[in-house]
Structure 1
Amino acid sequence: MLKKSFLIFLYFSISVLIYASDTKTNEVYVKGSNINMQEYIKFCDKTKKIKNLYVQKYEVTRKEFEEYLDYSQYSMLRQYSKTGGLFTYDNLMPYPDCAAVLITFYDACKYCNWRSEQEGYEPAYDIQGELPFELNYFQWKQENGEWIYYVLKMPEIRLNEKANGYRLPTINEYFYLLLGGQEGIDNKWWEEIDITKYEFFANSHFTNKVGSLKANPLGVYDIFSNAPEWIWADTNTYSRDDSINYAKYAVGYALREESLPNFNLIRYISNKKSLSPKSPLERGFIGMRMVRNAE
């Protein structure tokens, strides 16, 4: 009996170590900075220091997110179909190693906590309550004889900035990673890439296999060429009287009409002037990438 118990314990310990090792290979260390990101991207926050981070090389894949769906018994997402045709679960993510989409901001925070727990880290998000899993959180509802556009109230989510678990990058962190850190800014790494390939990836009606294109100087792949990615930020825009369902930022760029020599990524982003806020409960063509504190 003792021998059997020991073997089970040994098997579990080895499995955890292998899983942790595989996870580590998908991370890169990024040194923090006091850089004023607002000098490069006007809508960044100029006062926030960028921490030392471990950053996922790739966006969360369909296979990885499906492990969470299976664990949480949310298999109904696989039945997702917006209008048929191109906008179905399998068409949007045709391969297991494609970037996952159809992720709400709430899903993203829950997934970060779940992955943290699976790998022995302290969860970064304190989620006040639960939200029943739905394919579509927006619906017309009759109330007092009138049809109103009804949106469920999302639980409040608070970030523990000191936790070592997975989380979404902040707005400053995201754009620092996007530009390739200080080295990327100094070297203008984007001038050396074939921008037409990135345009094709960004303008597809589906996500591509992660890591298919050249990484930036930090070793981060697909950060402006595959799925838009949720980031941790909030604004009162469109929140009306609901302080919980702030419109969150989903970041991602479709590279259009930029097939020119010496493509300038900073100029391209700056021309957009601002970000387009997304509802935290929108289930659309939005994916995610995780980071965690290295301090």
Structure 2
Amino acid sequence: MEVAGTTITGNESWTPTSYVFVSGRSITIPDMYVCDHEVTRGEFKELMGTDPSTASAYDKDGNKLTGDAVLNNPVNYVNWYAAIAYCNKLSLKENLTPCYSVSGITDWENLAYSSIPTSSNSTWNALTYDKEADGYRLPTEAEWEWLARGGENYTYAGSNTVDDVAWYTTNTKDTGSREVKTKQANGYGLYDMSGNVYEWCYDWYDTVSSSTADTGASSGSYRVRRGGSWYNGGSDCQVSYRRYYYPYSRYSFYGFRVVRSAN
């Protein structure tokens, strides 16, 4: 779906307090096409040829799923590198220009999932991002928070009550992921921005200041992940809560969603 962008001047006040939209930081959020759900196991498998997920899958009523019934749950156990590869492959499939370039990779369409690094890789870490490309990409951290807030002033993405919008440790009992789009959407019609699986963002992680670029820090050791998960507490599901980890790391509660610029 399309979500209108905005210009954030750095003079606004935010409820809850933002650690990304800070005083003096001017950011332009573009109009975006946004997937209303986290990339599912089925979507990932169709494009990448495999479903790497390790989390058990359940429906909204807590019934364990097996076989093809798991494919509507969010893909998990994917690292940041795999999310980047998925974005480029999906762009090419839809005849769009990929946003990301990695030195030495010239044929993203035929890149095997097994070729994606699972340990720190300096070449992938040094990828370049073409902001003018029309292909799919990960949201920047600022874009992610803008989308999660949904034009509202709620603590979580769509409500002040975490159970309305999020699958998290209390209502999953740490058992596994839940089907996408089974909780309430936020004001932009986006589901699971709070909970289910953490979502990778583009940015390197660092403390955000007025001089931080709209795409985040220029370098670092960790990439940003946002939104909480089925394995984390309610505080992690807050729209303002920041987390990070190594881009090569894979866990059963790490996933992602895709966006692309609309202008």
Q: TM-score, normalised by structure 1?
A: 0.65
Q: Name the CA distance, whole Å, in 2 between partners of 1:134 and 1:205.
A: 30
- Superposition TM-score, scaled by structure 2 size: 0.72
Match of 2:176?
206
The 8 Å contact of residues 92 and 207 in structure 1, kept in 2 or not, is answered as yes
**1:137 aligned to which of 114, 118, 122:** 118
Residue identity matched to 2:118: Y
Query: Does the alignment pair 1:57 with 2:29?
Result: no
Deviations 1:238-275 (A, max 9, x none): xxxxx9773111112257467xxxxxx8xx555x5xx3
In structure 2, the CA distance between the partners of 1:257 and 1:54, relative to structure 1 (3 Å rule), is: closer
Taking the aligned partners of 1:31 and 1:60, their CA distance within structure 2 comes to 21
Q: Distance in 2 between matches of 1:164 and 1:202?
A: 37
2:76–2:255: 8 Å Cα contact kept in structure 1?
yes
Q: Per-residue deviation at 1:185?
A: 2.8
CA distance in 1, matches of 2:173, 2:226: 14
Q: Which residue of 1 aligns with 2:131?
A: 161
1:103-182 equivalence runs, <5 A? 103-130=78-105, 133=114, 137-138=118-119, 151-155=120-124, 156-181=126-151
Q: 1:286 aligns with which of 226, 232, 254?
A: 254
After TM superposition, list the pairs within 5 Å mapping 1:1-295 onto structure 2: 28-36=1-9, 39-40=13-14, 41-45=17-21, 46-70=25-49, 75=50, 78=52, 89=54, 91=56, 94=65, 95-130=70-105, 133=114, 137-138=118-119, 151-155=120-124, 156-181=126-151, 184-185=152-153, 189-191=158-160, 194-195=163-164, 198-199=167-168, 200=170, 204-235=174-205, 246-253=221-228, 256=233, 268=238, 275-284=242-251, 285-295=253-263
CA contact (8 A) 1:213 1:222 kept: yes
Residue identity (%): 26
| CA separation of 1:134 and 1:201: change in aligned 2, threshold 3 A | farther
What is the alpha-carbon distance in structure 1 between the residues aligned to residue 130 and residue 165 of structure 2?
40
- Name the one with the larger helix percent: 1
Structure 1, unaligned runs of 5 or more: 1-27, 79-87, 139-150, 238-242, 259-264
User: How far 1:204 sits from its partner (Å)?
Assistant: 3.5
What do residues 205-257 of structure 1 show as CA deviations (whole Å, max 9, x unaligned)? Answer: 421111111111101011112100000111479xxxxx977311111225746
RMSD over aligned Cα atoms: 3.4
State the Cα distance separating 1:102 from its structure 2 match.
1.0
Q: 1:219 to 1:113 in 2, by over 3 A?
A: same
Unaligned runs of 5+ in 2: 59-64, 106-110, 208-217
- Evaluate the alpha carbon distance shift between residue 292 and residue 157 of structure 1 in structure 2; reply closer, same or farther with a 3 A threshold: same
In 2, Cα distance between equivalents of 1:195 and 1:136: 37
Q: Any runs of at least 4 consecutive aligned residues in structure 1 with deviations exceeding 6 A, and if so which?
A: none
